[in-house]
Each structure stands twice: as structure tokens, then as C-alpha cells.
Structure 1
Amino acid sequence: MANLLDVMATQMDFQYELTRPADRVWGSEFPNGSWSGMIGMLRREEVEIAMGPFTVTQKRASVSDISMPVAFANKGMLMQRPTAQSDVAGFLRTFSPEVWLLILVSMVVVSAAMSGLTWLEDSIFSSRTKNLTSKSIIWMAQTLAQESSHWLPRRDGGRLLVSTWLLASLVFMSSYSGILTAMLTVPSVTIPIDSLEDLVAQSDMPWKLEGGSSMFLYFQDATDDLRRRVFEERGGTFKDCWADRQAIADGEFVAICDEVTMKKAMSWDFSTTGQCHLYKSRENIYSSTVAVAFRAGSMYLSHANQVILALKGSGILDKWVNDQITNTSLCLRPPSADRSEGIAPLNFEAFGGPLLVLAAGFSLATFTFLCEVVISRCGWSTATLRTTTAPTITGTLH
């Protein structure tokens, strides 16, 4: 807007002095009819032009002269950029809970069917299989883990059931290993907030509205439940998106801003740090035109519109905007594309789940072993006690 003001001053032959409103806001109407911010200064005829750019609203147009549109602006949410997080339970997320439950039920059913079918076949053919239940359970676990087993049913019925389960377990484990490999190679990034529905549904990150702005009035005057919740449950207000860009990048709150300011903040962030710390939501909340505001009845409005029209037609206005958002292409990519090139080593948290399962299994095995030792010693002591306290029969032979 500074470039536009300089061109207007040159073409319209005037000099200017920059001033800011005491409250540092754009301008909104108070209940008594007065206005705050830059629009209030126009209303009180303290200034001739307010560059803004201002979102064009009916209320603002009623108290000031609005120029022809300078640009078309989308409004969205700006927040700290989500990053890939290691998940201890990631190895279980290859399947949904329903699929895991079905696999568990299938194991129980097939194991029971294997034991029952083998027992019936043994009864029919007068044979006997020792430890049938334990063998069926161990065989089930071995085949699911793609290990070979030395035990198989002796008859065709049981072997047919074995073949069916082997095929099913092959599909289960091939799918599991493929999905797990893909998850480790290209880790997914969870984006908790990408729409207004996501915003009000979460409680981890507060959100704020820009004080004295058209967005504040937009949500304040909203009648639908969703936008009323955005207004009523907000965490306060902030000055403006550009001034508070560092606080937004640090994850202090989610801000609702115009698209140009969001991209400008992302360009500044990447230019100064070489990394992307900001994320722009995919959902556009609403769109509007932006323009320059003049004092009501201003003599400069007509000539200013001619200047703006000429600059838009020549593409100079678009060039000025693009010059401020030169380093945004990388930061506009989805967060899942922020991984480094090459294969990254797994950290402890990413591989912690299987290690915890291993530790739990080792602990359970140790506990079982100690129980066996205690039980065997108790059994040995009882046998010794019975031997040493048995009655002795003595007598004299005659």
C-alpha cells in the first residue's frame, strides 16, 4: 500500500503525512454510533485518506467513501505448522481397531475349530494327539508370524482348515508389513485444524480474532451456530496478523487473517529462518474485496479510482503483492512434504512400541518362571515332608 500511496501522491499532486490511530485498529462501530480506528479518524475528518486496505462492508461504506476494489482477499486461519510426530503405538495403527478385533476373533475361532476337528478325527480313526489345545494355539501364533511349525493335523479335514488359515494369515501379514513399511518411509502428519469445524472441536489451541477488524464484526454478527461458537469461545483479540506473526509461529494461538498477510508472514518466516513454521488452513472462511477509504465527500476519490484502475490494468498492483510473498512456495506445500531427503533413522519413540511389547513379554516370562520355581519347590517340600513323617512299623519276629 505504500507504493500505491506514493503513486497516488505523484499523479494527484499532493503531499502526505502518515499517522496512526491511537487504538491501532482498522475501525468498527460502537453501540453509540461512533467509530474506532482508521475509519473513526475518517468519520471525525481527522484524515483525508486511510490506505488500509479495508474489507468493503456496508457499514464502512455508509460513513466513508470507498474506492474501487484494489484486490480480492480470502480469509483463512494461520497457525503453527504441524510436524511429523513419532508414535509409540504406530505399529498398531496399520489396521483399524475393528480389523484387529476381527483378526483376534479369527484366531480364537480357527484355533477352537482346529482343536475340535482334530479331536473328532482322532475319535473316528482311533488315534490320539497329546496336548491338542496347546499345540493348536502355538501353531496359530507361529503361522500368523510366518514361522514354520513341526505339528500338523494327521487327517485331510484338519489339513484343509490349515491351508485356509495359512492363506488368510499370508494376506494379513503381507498387508501389515506393506502398510508399516509405507508408514515408516513416508510418515503422516496429523493436521488438527483445517476448517472452522476442526477449530471449535479441539481444545488444545486457543484462537483469537483481530480486534476492530471486519473479521471480528463478521463473526460477531453471525447467526449460524458454528460461527457463533467461533466468536463466543475465542481466546481474545490480537493486534494484527503481521504484528503477531512470531507469536502465531510459536504456537500461542490460531489467528484468522487475510490470505495476503498470511503469505507475507510465511515469506518472512522462511526468509529469516530458512524453515517453515507457519501453516495456512485449506479452508477459506469467506472472501471479500479490499479497497482504500476516503473521507466522506472527498475530492480525491474520483482521481484515485482512475489511478487504481490504471495500476490494476497494467498488472503493477499484482506485482507489488507478489514481491512481498516471494518465498512461500515451500511453505504452502502440505506438512507431510517437510521430511528431509533420504532415509531417516528410526528414533527410540518410533520404535518404542515393539520394544515395550518385548519388555512386557520378557517380564511375563520371568514372572511365569518364578511361579514355576515356587510351585516346584513347594511340591518338593511337601513330598519330603510326607516322606520324613510317614509312620514306621517295627516289630519282633517270632
Structure 2
Amino acid sequence: MTDYSVDLVPDLAPSSQYKFATRVLPLLLMALLLLVIPLLEPSRTSLSLLNAVGINIVFALSYNMLLGQAGMLSFGHAVYFGFGGYAAMHAMNWIETASYDGGVWAAFPVFALPLVGFAGGAAAGAVIGWPSCRRAGVPFAMISLGLAELIAAAGLMFVGLFGGEEGITGDRMNGVEAFGLSLGPIGEVYWFIAFWAFAGTALMYAFTRTPLGKLAQAVRDNPERVQFVGYNPNKVRYLVFIAAGGFAGLAGGMSAVNYEIFTPESLSVIPSGLVLLMAYIGGARYFAGPILGAIMLTYMQSNFSDYSEAWLLYLGLLFIGMIMFAPRGLAGLLLSAVSGIQHSLTVKSLLRWGAYCTAGLLVVVGGVTLIELAVRRSNGFGEVFEPFGLHLSPEQVLPWMYGGVLLAAGVGLLTALHKVGEGESK
């Protein structure tokens, strides 16, 4: 008797076209973009910004291995970035010494120093993660915070290892040249950053496809079930912790070569908080989310601070807004917009999207106006806020009214749209 039941089961596996479009094509587009950027002849300032973006992309993706993939909230991820950077910086100085006196390091190219950073970050993760990963949730977060403060303080005490407040400096133009790059001009440093940013991104994406990466997602969602099927959630967290520490160290090694200096500030809570913002604002549940967050926050930190003294306030408000209204981050917003356009492209939906954009614009313009007026008023220097050629003095009542009316109109429109949406869903 022939059994045809197998033929009735649908094939749920993704097609080869879907795999290529979602797994291979984004990496190819990233590589193409990295190759095209130098052809546009960017300025030295732009190259410096791009190098910082590349470092932060790897750093943010490494953090998201903990937060987004394994559900581990860490307040001390900069520790592994710092250990990787210090390991690379010491190796850079050993290469310089060996170039005069000879030795093993004379044959080691500076181009490969991120591998030393990876080893340093992974080693720190293996040591620190052994006791840390025995706990999860809030206890793990508190342990990471305490360790970050402890190691940051140690960075100022152990001068021989961390260089004290002045840190450790080096010269990247030593040793064997790889791919014909001396790493002197900033244009050559760009190729160094681009290579390791792409390599780190590709390897971390490959990690998400491994059995360990899938187990990490299972531990994040339901650790009890993972334990029930025979796996130890603590061991899974520990292995992911080591991998995340290694890639953070890779970013630290990239930073050491790019800036040729490393200070204990890189071990502190401040960069740990910044990378948390990158991952969450970008979208911790999506692999590309931290990339978007790293690009946005690096730009805000490097350029937006030149336009406003209150850029940190804007960053805080952006973070709060994401938590309250867009917990899936920038990546989630983009995917929702694309999905909405594909499945419900009607006049009504377009009008709703336009209303939401208008309300958001009113909130942003009104809020920025009030904040900038308040900053200039508190400084007491008689400065005037001049957006788009307008003359808005904080000493006059009318500009404050403009900002208040725009903000109130935006909030009111958002509230009305939300109520309409709730009524239609019922």
C-alpha cells in the first residue's frame, strides 16, 4: 500500500531566492557601499566620521549579541571593548620595538591587530562571564554595572597596564605592511576600518545562524524549555558572552589603530551606556537595528553637538520616545512602513501616514524651539535662536508661544489619530 501522506505536507523551508535576498544580498550591498564610498572622494572629516561609524557598528552588533539575541542586559560592555583596545595598543608598541630590536612581533602586521583585540576581549569575557552568567535578568545587569565601575577605577590605579589618566599611545606606521597599506593616510585607515567592519558584521551574522545562536534566542524567550530539552541556559549565556566580548574587543582593536591612543575612559559606564542606546534605538530585535543606531548616534555625537548644546537632551528624549512609542526601534519603524505600503497602499492609508508625519514634525519643531530657547535663556549671553533665518529671542514672549502652540498641536493630533486607530480596531 502506498503512503502519500508525505506529499501532502507543505514545504515550510525558505526558498533559495528568499535566503539570498535576506542573508547574502544585504552583505553584498554593504560590501558594494564600502567600495563605492572612496570613489566619491569624501573629505578628511567625512572619512574620520565614517571610521568612527565602522567601529561603532561592530561594537553595537557585539552588544546586541547579548541584549537582542540572548536577552542579557549589560551595563558594562565597554569593559571588553577596552580590554581589546588595550591589548591591541600594547601589541602595537611591541611591534614598534620589534621593528628596531627584532623579535616575533616584527613579522606581525598592524593591520591584523583587531585579532589581538578579539583575543583580549574574549579572554576578558571568559574570566568575567564565568561568575556573571550564573545569574540572569536584573542580577546580571547589576553585576555588569558593578564590574564596569570596578575595572574603570582599576584603569586609573594600574598605570603600567592602563597608562593612568593619559592612557597608552602608539604608532600604527610600523611593522609589516598588509595589502600595501602603510596606515598612515586617513584614506588607508578607511580601508582598514572597512575591511574589519565588514568581516565583523559578516561573522556576527553567521553566528546568528549557528545552533548556538539559535539556542541563545531560545534562552532569551524561554530558558525553562531550553533546560527541559537538555541544554544548560547558563552555559549558553556564557558561550555567547565570550563571543560578544571577543567582537567587542575586535572593535576595540579597530579603535586603537584608528586613534592611536587608548584611555581608561573607554572602560567606563559612559561608552557602555552609549552602545546600549545604539542597540535599542536602532532595534535590538533586528540584526540591522544596531547598525542604524550606530550610524545615527555617531553622527549626533560627532556633528550634531556642533549645532546644539542640548544634543544629549535630544538623545535622551529620543530614547524615551522609542521606549514609549516604538519599542522595536528604527528598524521596526522602517519595516512597518514598508509593510504598510505593500499591503495597504490606499488613499486612506496615505492620508493617515501623512497625518502622523505632520503630527511628528509639529512635535519635533515645537519641542526643539522650546529647548533651544530655554538653553539660550539659561546661558544668559543674550544669544538668539535663528532657525532658517528666523530671529527668535528667548527674552520675548512670542517665540515661546510659537513653540508651545506647535508642540500642543502636534501632541493633540497624535492623540486624535491614536483614538481613531483604536476605534477602527474595535
| TM category, shorter | under 0.3
Rg (Cα) greater in structure: 1
Q: Tell me the TM-score normalised to structure 1 length.
A: 0.18
* Structure showing greater relative contact order (alpha-carbon pairs closer than 8 Å, 6 or more residues apart): 1
- Flag the structure with higher strand content: 1
- Flag the structure with higher helix content: 2
